[in-house]
Chains A and B, each alone.
Chain A
Amino acid sequence: MEFFRYLGASTRASFTKLGRASYFLIEILSGLASVIVRPRLLLKQLHSVGVLSFLIIVISGLFVGMVLGLQGFYILSRFGAEETLGVMVAASLVRELGPVVAALLFAGRAGSALTAEIGLMKATEQLSGMEMMAIDPIKRIISPRFLAGFLSMPLLASLFSAVGIIGGQLVGSGLLGVDDGAYWSQMQATLDFKDDIINGIIKSVVFGFVTSWIALFEGYDAIPTAEGVSRATTRTVVNSAFSILGLDFILTALMFGEH
């Protein structure tokens, strides 16, 4: 009996939370107009969300691309199809790994930082204080961060893919002797700008939207204590990872299902 009560209570609580999160999203979106009027707020957040994620994205992208080059070469050379290494590396990066891994890294690097920052601002009454100064913390604090996350994500994902493709080329034609021309030309002949590149970008835009939303909401909804903020930060990373991977499946089915 106790168990069912627990189950019922937690189900209800998760719906309540979803409701609060949706309401919060509407407020963020309606606060976006005021961000456009004050680009300096956005610029500051682009710095802390985008620029500070730059290095981790470049380094991870390079290594992921190099590993893809190595593994791809071993498998493809069994079928005598090393020439298509470029296709394999580029397709997996542009369609899947670029958007997904960049978003996961983004959730870990920028998302958790956003949650902790907002949570601590709440715990130290900064948000409340702002409200009492007649300044809407959603417009002033939350919306610029949301927009910055949303805009940075596709840029970071493209960066990840681009660096990864170069990494794959370094390993493939630099170390393993795949023909350099074949690497690029096969890639160009097979990958389609609309089907592959644009769809990958759309994915990363969706992931950026969802990750920023989750991170900011968890911070704003955190119990304002040290423990509450640390839990909220964990939830951001876990929930973002679930949402990214789940949405990736749905988006992939929608985008690439017909071919």
Chain B
Amino acid sequence: MPYTHTQDTLVGLFVATGIASLFFLGLQVSNLSSLSHGDTYEITARFSNSGGLKVKSSVSAAGVKIGNVKAITFDPKTYESVVKMDIDAQYKTLPDDSSASVYTAGLLGEQYVSLDGGGSSEFLKNGSKIEITNSALVLEKALGQFLFKSAEEKKAAPVDDKKGKK
């Protein structure tokens, strides 16, 4: 068949640009690059309430991302939330008495797990459990408590109490 080399070149350029934009979307736009596909190890923490935490929410230490939430399940015996996390293998010197807390990034942001280091000389390893946990701050509860307290202090109208609990 008759053909021109220009046509080949143009098609080649087209395909290359298309694939380049795919890479751009993958690496620059989405979280593909931050999901390290290297080795990870798994740790588990139990929270009495994991709040709005989701699978793939980040796990950070001192504000730096070190892993992801892998699974969240409910334990029907203890009524606790069991959160499994994948921690990047390069961070293998986390003390095994570290505590895990569920925090919110900003007032309305996503929730994430924060690990705060302890003083133990033993380190967390694959399958370790974190004993000390702080549950998610549930806004309605906190707000309710705050209103209840201020109402008591003023010893004023009792209506606020009901409103706050809702």
Contacts and interface: CB of A to CB of B under 8 A. Distances in A.
Contact of A188 (B1, B13, B14, B34): B34
A163 B24 CA distance: 10
A187 B33 CA distance: 12
B85 to A, nearest CB: 17
A163 B30 contact: no
A47 B1 CA distance: 15
B30 A196 contact: yes
Contacts of A196: 30
Given A40-B1, A46-B11, A197 B29 contact: yes
A188 B28 contact: yes
A54 B14 contact: yes
Contacts of A94: 25, 29-30
A161 B30 CA distance: 12
A158 B30 CA distance: 13
The interface size bin for chain A is: 20 to 34
Contact of B31 (A41, A154, A192, A201): A192
Given A155-B15, A192-B31, A43 B8 contact: yes
Nearest to A46: B11
Contacts of A216: none
B68 to A, nearest CB: 11
Interface string B1-36: 101000110110111011101101110111111110
A192 B10 CA distance: 32
Given A155-B18, A188-B28, A51 B35 contact: no
Interface residues of B, number: 28
B15 A46 contact: yes
A28 interface: no
A188 B31 contact: yes
A196 B10 CA distance: 29
A158 B18 contact: yes
Given A44-B7, A51-B10, A155-B15, A161 B21 contact: yes
Contacts of B33: 188
Interface string A170-213: 00000000000000100111111100110001000000000000
Given A43-B8, A46-B15, A197 B25 contact: yes
Interface string A32-51: 00000000110110110011
Contact of A162 (B8, B11, B25, B58): B25
Max chain B CB contacts within 10 Å: which of A161, A189, A192?
A189
Interface string B32-74: 1111000000000000000000001010000000000000000
A193 B28 contact: no
A155 B19 contact: yes
Given A50-B14, A155-B15, A192 B30 contact: yes
Nearest to A91: B29
B28 A184 contact: yes
Given A159-B21, A161-B21, A201-B22, A50 B11 contact: yes
Given A94-B29, A191-B30, A162 B24 contact: yes
25 contacts: A43-B3, A46-B11, A50-B11, A51-B10, A94-B30, A154-B18, A154-B22, A155-B18, A155-B19, A158-B18, A158-B22, A158-B24, A162-B21, A163-B21, A187-B29, A188-B33, A188-B34, A189-B34, A190-B110, A191-B29, A193-B31, A193-B35, A197-B26, A197-B29, A197-B30
6 closest A-B pairs by beta carbon, nearest first, are A155-B18, A162-B21, A193-B32, A158-B21, A191-B30, A193-B30
Given A40-B1, A50-B11, 14 more contacts: A47-B7, A47-B14, A50-B14, A51-B14, A54-B17, A94-B29, A154-B18, A155-B21, A158-B21, A159-B21, A161-B21, A162-B25, A188-B30, A193-B26
Interface of B: 1, 3, 7-8, 10-11, 13-15, 17-19, 21-22, 24-26, 28-35, 56, 58, 110
